[in-house]
Amino acid sequence: MLFNRNEPVFGKPIEQPSQELVKNTLGLHNASLEDALKYGGDLTRAAIGSMNLTMKKKYIIVDTKIHMLIPGMCPAIPGWHTDGVPRGANLDPTAKQAPNIHAQEEMDSPIFHLLVTGTSCLTKFIKDRNIDLAVPDEPDTKLYKMVSSQVNQKVLNGELETYEAPSCVPVMWDWWEVHTGIPAKHHEWRFLIRVTESDIQQPKTDLRDIIRTQQQGYMPMEFGW
């Protein structure tokens, strides 16, 4: 299956926020654009304002995460993967079921926008286009373990070139774009925002679900999910 079919698009940068501003920014989970602008704070509003939202989908979902990093910590999914893969009978990317990447061939991709602050832990992408990778024939949780293993081998062999997304610059891509979180390089407060334009995934409406009270970390290893 071919990945990295289209070029990521970079937007206009925002000013690097102070560590104090990052530390005091509210985390959001599957918030609507309206709620994100209302409750997300100055940094969230600035980040959204820098993004080239297309407004072509039914829904807009905003997620923000704030982590107090220490070297070696993984605040984002490690291992090469894509976002928004359809899952389950309803092809809902939020379902806790095996990913069905073959369904993407017959569907319109969501549109993803990402911005990360600081320098300790920036999302890594691949420069190369139209990367051919083996995937399971049927929906299977081993999909991303397979993808990550192949990409790592190609990078090690010098077949693929990687780069880190620029700090404080929004990047827009689709669900074919392979990327990975990386372990933190140094101590830092880190802000990440991802805005998803989707025809399937709907924002949450209960503030008890939207306001984040915990931040998730990840193990530095390849695994399926």
* Mean pLDDT, residues 32-61 taken together: 97
Q: Read off the pLDDT band of 168 (50, 70, 90).
A: very high
Q: What is the DSSP string of 90-114?
A: TT-TTSSS-B-GGGGGGSPPPEEEE
User: Is the per-residue pLDDT at 49 higher than 90?
Assistant: yes
Mean pLDDT value across the chain? 94
Q: Read off the pLDDT band of 167 (50, 70, 90).
A: very high
* Mean pLDDT, residues 112-134 taken together: 98
Q: From CA 110, how far away is CA 58, in angstroms rounded? A: 10
Q: Read off the pLDDT band of 224 (50, 70, 90).
A: low
* Mean pLDDT, residues 53-74 taken together: 95
Question: Among 75-79, 123-127, 184-188, where is mean pLDDT lowest?
Answer: 75-79
* Cβ 91 vs Cβ 100: under 8 Å: yes
Per-residue pLDDT reduced to its tens digit, 13-44: 999 999 999 999 999 999 999 999 999 999 99
* Mean pLDDT, residues 66-86 taken together: 92
SS3 30: strand
Element (H, E) at 42: helix 41-49
Q: From CA 154, how far away is CA 7, in angstroms rounded? A: 20
Burial-class residue 211 by CB neighbours within 10 Å (0-12, 13-18, 19+): middle
pTM assigned to the model: 0.94
Q: Which residues contact 186 (CB under 8 A, 6 or more apart)?
A: 69, 71, 119, 120
* Cβ 81 vs Cβ 180: under 8 Å: yes
Q: Where are the domains of the chain?
A: 2-210
* Cβ 2 vs Cβ 127: under 8 Å: no
Q: From CA 139, how far away is CA 142, in angstroms rounded? A: 9
59-69 and 162-164 strand pairing: unpaired
* Percentage of the chain modeled with pLDDT above 90: 89
Percent of the chain as helix, strand, coil, to the nearest 5 = 20, 25, 55
- Structure-token pair, residue 15: 């000013």
Q: From CA 81, how far away is CA 94, in angstroms rounded? A: 15
